[in-house]
Amino acid sequence: MNIRKLGAIDIGSNGVRLLIMNVLEAESEQPLFRKNSLVRVPIRLGADVFLDKKISEENIDRLAESMEAFRLLMKVNKVEKYMACATSAMREAINGAAVSDEVFKRTGVKINIIDGSEEAKIIASTDIHSLIKDGKSYLYIDVGGGSTEFTVFANGEVQNARSFPIGTVRLLDDMVSSKMWNEVKGWIQENTKKYDKIEAVGSGGNINKIFKNSGKRERQPLSLKYLKDYAKYVSSFNYEERIRVLEFNPDRADVILHAMSIYINTMKWSGAKLIHVPRIGLADGIIKTIYYEQIQTSS
């Protein structure tokens, strides 16, 4: 058996993550992907960009320092290949490209600023296909700080996908108009109306935390009713109580209800009563992209 180590850096609007994955290769068998470690740094780039249109000097320094730390972590873990992808905040920042260049000069880490369609494509390459069953239809909902990616699956295939600039940090800063909500509603209804008994699949840090707190076993879905009841429960606590009593991280405590509003509304608009939470995301997709598009094609 051969063991490879790959790294994925996800530079989002609400946080920056490094995922290190072990890939187990055995002759005549499919590779197995096993999480080695995950490090998250709460740099809220979206708070800069969605209000001021640019990333602040303070957060440029924090981002560069994080990339240097991630580079060293990957070095000591003997990571073979890695890729860093930045999403909504950096692609909308007027200085996004300049920040990417600055970080590369200071750390040697190249940041790829990807658009919404590329983000949705990478996410769709994850293990979500292990959940997708022929003859059933699904709405995949990936909620981030700056954007939400929606993908409709039917008969085991992607039917349509779209990214919308509606995310938890934008909602926190009151940067999402009713027009945008209506646009999302219209797209969801139009692209799911022909499917009976559609089910949702959720990804993102907030739904992962909700699933963990539910006490459900792996592969057991959450119901729409549970999400509504849990949202009502969380809303009965103020911000400080969510940190102290509910044990949310500070940068989760102020956005989790906004995330739930996206999941709940889109489930209602699609008619989904259940949501599966495989606890995967962009970083997992980056690993798969590296392996199948760079390593296997060159072997």
The arithmetic mean of pLDDT across residues 153-163, rounded, is: 87
Q: What is the pLDDT of residue 16?
A: 96
Closest CA to 264 of 146, 139, 179: 139
CB within 8 Å of 23: residues ≥ 6 apart: 3, 4, 5, 6, 31, 32, 33, 34, 287, 291
Q: What is the pLDDT of residue 129?
A: 65
Per residue in 10-62, pLDDT (tens digit) is: 999 999 999 999 999 988 888 999 999 999 999 999 999 999 999 999 999 99
Q: What order of strands is seen across the sheet that includes strand 111-113?
A: 32-41, 16-25, 2-11, 81-86, 111-113
pTM: 0.87
160, two tokens: 């349509």
Whose tokens are 């890729």? That residue is 83
> Could you tell me where in the chain the CATH 3.30.420.40 domains are found?
2-116+282-297
127, two tokens: 């293990």
> Could you tell me where in the chain the CATH 3.30.420.150 domains are found?
129-276
Per residue in 166-211, pLDDT (tens digit) is: 999 999 999 999 999 999 999 999 999 999 889 999 998 999 999 9
> pLDDT > 70: what percent of the chain?
97
204, two tokens: 């993102």
Which CATH number is associated with domain 2-116+282-297? 3.30.420.40
The arithmetic mean of pLDDT across residues 254-263, rounded, is: 97
- Reading phi first (left if > 0) and then psi (alpha if -120 to 50, else beta), residue 28 is in left
CA 116 to chain centre: 12
CATH class entry, domain 129-276: alpha beta
Q: What are phi and psi of 292, to 5 degrees?
A: -80, -30
- Does 276 score more than 80 pLDDT? yes
